[in-house]
């Protein structure tokens, strides 16, 4: 989905969005706020790049972090905490390994994308190829592609 389509869909539905990012380092938020009128629906974002930031800023608990910072549990916790922090209807999160090379037993290009709403939370792993920057850009596109253009986030149950 194009960022402009997401902004338009959220506006039509009277809904809001926030983000919590790690490997994308603000690229997802930037893609959204590049759209004129994004402030109608985009409430904000957090870049929590280190485990300490995930814990201290977002409040990701030790139980989730025990699975590793690149995990389903952390992606979900990041999205849930961003949604709570900003009071948004939805939140997206990104965490992964952009490289170069593997880290903590995870291959370069391993990315977890999280989503949270008031009623559902889910995460999906994607394997992306390329260099560090290409993986980061592809992660933003993958996060946006997971959003159904007809009803925002209507496919949350399919992410499991």
**Tens digits of per-residue pLDDT, 30-53?**
999 999 999 999 999 999 999 999
Residue closest to 143 by CA, chosen among 119, 116, 118? 116
Residue with tokens 């201290």: 56
Q: How confident is the model over 53-78, as a mean pLDDT?
A: 96
Q: How confident is the model over 143-148, as a mean pLDDT?
A: 75
Domain that residue 150 falls in: 3-159
pLDDT tens-digit profile of 1-33? 889 989 998 998 899 999 999 999 999 999 999
Q: How confident is the model at residue 149 (pLDDT cuts 50, 70, 90)?
A: very low
- Residues β-bridged to residue 125: 112
Domain CATH code at residue 55? 3.90.950.20
Contacts of 82 (CB under 8 A, 6+ apart): 18, 19, 20, 45, 46, 58, 88, 91, 92, 93, 116
pLDDT value at residue 99: 94
What whole-number distance in Å separates Cα of residue 91 and Cα of residue 83? 5
Give the number of domains in the chain: 1
The SS3 assignment for 128 reads: coil
């Amino acid at each position: 989905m194009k960022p402009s389509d997401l902004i338009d869909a959220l506006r039509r539905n009277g809904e809001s969005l926030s983000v919590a990012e790690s490997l994308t380092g603000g690229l997802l938020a930037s893609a959204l706020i590049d759209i004129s009128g994004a402030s109608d629906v985009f409430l904000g974002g957090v870049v929590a790049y280190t485990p300490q930031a995930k814990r201290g800023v977002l409040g990701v608990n030790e139980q989730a972090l025990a699975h590793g910072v690149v995990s389903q549990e952390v992606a979900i916790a990041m999205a849930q905490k961003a949604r709570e922090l900003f009071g948004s209807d939805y939140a997206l999160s990104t965490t992964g390994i952009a490289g170069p090379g593997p880290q903590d037993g995870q291959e370069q290009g391993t990315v977890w994308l999280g989503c949270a709403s008031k009623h559902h939370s889910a995460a999906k792993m994607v394997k992306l190829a390329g260099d560090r920057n290409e993986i980061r850009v592809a992660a933003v596109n993958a996060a946006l592609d997971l959003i159904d253009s007809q009803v925002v986030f209507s496919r949350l149950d399919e992410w499991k």
